[in-house]
Structures are given as C-alpha cells and as structure tokens.
Amino acid sequence: MSQRPTANSLFRLRNDLQRRLAGDVECPLGVYPSAVGVRLRQGFQSAFVMGQPGMDDHCEYRILLGNDRLFDVLTRMFVEFLPETVFGLFEEFSYDAWRETDTWASGAPVSKQRFLQAWELFGRFFAEDGRCGFGARADEPRVEVFLEEHGAVYIACGFELRERVEGMLNGLGLPELEEVLGIENHDHRHEDVLDVSDGSLMDDLDIKFSVIESLGMALTNGDEMGPVGEPQPFWIYLELDLTFDPAAEGQRAYISLAVTAHDHAEARSLAEARLLERFPSALVARYLQIYRIGDSDISAEIAPRRRDAIGSVGVWFESSPEYWA
C-alpha cells in the first residue's frame, strides 16, 4: 500500500532565507517590506457591503496575521466557515501584458475534504510564497475565505456567519482597525522560496498545476482587457507527452512557441497544429504558460527575421525541444 504524500515529501522551502519582522508581524519568507523600520500591525478591518442585483448584503473582513500562526488560523477558518462543497480559488501575478493577475476557479463544486487535502499539502508554500493566493468560496451559505498574495486574509460572508467570524477574530486577540495596511501597501521585495536543487521535488509550476487540476480549476479572466478585435502576440510554454513517439529522445519534451492570434483559443489551435507537424505521435500533456506579450517581451532571441510577422496570425517562433526521460 503506497504512503500518502506529505508536504515534506513534495517540496522543500529554502533554509537560507531570513525571516523579517515588520512591527508585530512576521512576514512570509517570500515577501517583505524593502525599507528597514516599516511597522505593520496585526488586526482586522470590517465593512458592510450593500447588496446589488444578484448579490445580497454581506460583510467583508481583511485580516493581517503574523506568519507564525497564519497556516494554523487559516486551517481553522477553512474547517469552521466553509460548507461541505466549495469552489476552489487560485490567483497569481500574471505574465500577461494586459492584466495584473491570473485568477482560477473550480468549474464545478468540489468537496471540502478535497480542498482541505490541497491545503494540507501545499498550504505552507502558499503561506510563505508571497506571489500567489489560495482559498475557496461557496454560494450556500455565501462565504469566501482567501489567502491573498502578500499574506493578508480576506473573508466575505452573509450575516448568518458574522458572529462566528468576529468571535474567532476576537478570540485570536486581534484588534479591529480603521484600515489594515499590509506588505502590499509599502515598497517590498520578493524572494523565491522553494529549494529546487533536488530535481525530484516540486517547483512552483508543479504545485500550481497540481492544485488547479485536483480542484478542477480554469482560468476565469483569460481574455479581459487588451486591444479588442486585433490579433495579439502570445507566448506559450507547454509539455508534450512523447510516450507513443518511437523517435523521441525522451518521454517528455518542453517547448516554447510565440504565436499571433485573436484569442487564447486560436493561440492554442495554432500551437497544436504546428506541433502536430513536428511530432505527429505526441500528445499535449498540459499548457504550463500561455499569455499575451508586449513589444518589450520580444527579445532578439525570439524575434522573427521580418518584424511584420508578429502582426500576422500564425506561429513566428518555436524553441528546440527540451527532453526529459
């Protein structure tokens, strides 16, 4: 019988990073104020939000905790406030030229147990990373509990949960503040928190895709903003399954392409058509990255011989495959 995986067996946090203290707040390893002497304060901010068509009146809370108790408190919040089925949520800073963040959500409800398993495995990474957020929401009762990218916690709930939420916050000894000012309100620095020196352990992309696949998530803001109706350059990084390709140098290959397309669907179609020509027996295992790029992202290494190719629908750059056994 195989052993159940644990966080320690899947990834490793770096042991050479210094924990920073800002006021009475222990910062995540992956993000902290740049300036010495910044004083953050633990506490919570609350607000009543008037309902609009399709949305009832509700309460919102923004909470700042020290990292020394962030994981344990969030575990309690997930267990006590979420119902038995939820929609998982994941957010990360975007590479896309036209948006600040990528947001992912479960396409259908998943069990709270499945969500808690993902948190148990990867929650300590999310609590330290400083670049991605993770949480869940539900419609009945209305509730959302979300760990923001820089380490603050956001809760939205109907009035039926208000006393329980505020009871927990008061029990934690958190004062109510007029405004919660977190790391994101100051100049700050980011650090990579994972030790990837051992190739057998997960990196941030592995963790991301493990979570979004296990919770059935899809990108929810893929085509927002940007020029409307105009073809745009996309950068695509994907993994190929070469199990059925007898001529392949390994079972997996990682390839980057630059294409110009009107939207994400057309970009994927162009990439897959080109790969079908090059690797007829290959399968696309997963898209690791797909985002729109601006002129500043088009370096000399990937620029086509003719600059006008970037404005024409089609593939204008493809890398050599990087094979893995």
Domain ranges of the chain: 7-217, 228-324
**Tally of CA atoms within 13 A in the half-sphere of 311 that contains its CB:** 3
**64 CB contacts (<8 Å, ≥6 apart)?**
25, 40, 41, 42, 43, 44, 151, 152, 153, 180, 181, 182
In the chain, what is the straight-line distance between the N-terminal and C-terminal CA atoms, in Å? 26
Matching residue, tokens 């009543």: 48
What are the residues facing 142 on neighbouring strands?
A: 139
Per-residue pLDDT of 222-235, as tens digits, reads: 766 566 678 999 99
Per-residue pLDDT of 85-133, as tens digits, reads: 999 999 999 999 888 899 999 999 999 999 999 999 999 999 999 999 9
Backbone angles phi, psi at 167, to 5 degrees: -65, -40
Q: Look at residue 153 and tell me whether its pLDDT is greater than 60.
A: yes
pLDDT of res. 225: 57
Percent of the residues in the chain that have a pLDDT greater than 70, as a whole number: 95
CA–CA separation, 82 vs 316, rounded Å? Answer: 47
Q: How confident is the model at residue 183 (pLDDT cuts 50, 70, 90)?
A: very high
Question: Considering only 9-23, 104-118, 246-260, which range has the smallest mean pLDDT?
Answer: 246-260
Q: Look at residue 66 and tell me whether its pLDDT is greater than 60.
A: yes
pLDDT of res. 234: 95
Structure-model confidence comparison of residues 87 and 7, the more confident one: 87
**144 CB contacts (<8 Å, ≥6 apart)?**
89, 135, 136, 137, 138, 154, 155, 156, 157
**318 CB contacts (<8 Å, ≥6 apart)?**
255, 256, 257, 258, 274, 278
CA–CA separation, 214 vs 226, rounded Å? Answer: 30
Structure-model confidence comparison of residues 287 and 76, the more confident one: 76
**Mean pLDDT value across residues 319-323:** 90
Percent of the residues in the chain that have a pLDDT greater than 90, as a whole number: 74
Structure-model confidence comparison of residues 234 and 51, the more confident one: 234
C-alpha distances (whole Å) from 196 to each of 3, 18, 19, 109, 200 are: 23, 18, 20, 33, 9
Query: In this structure, are residues 211 and 236 in contact, taking their beta carbons and an 8 Å threshold?
Result: no
Structure tokens belonging to residue 212? 């979004």
**Mean pLDDT value across residues 179-207:** 94
**Mean pLDDT value across residues 10-39:** 96
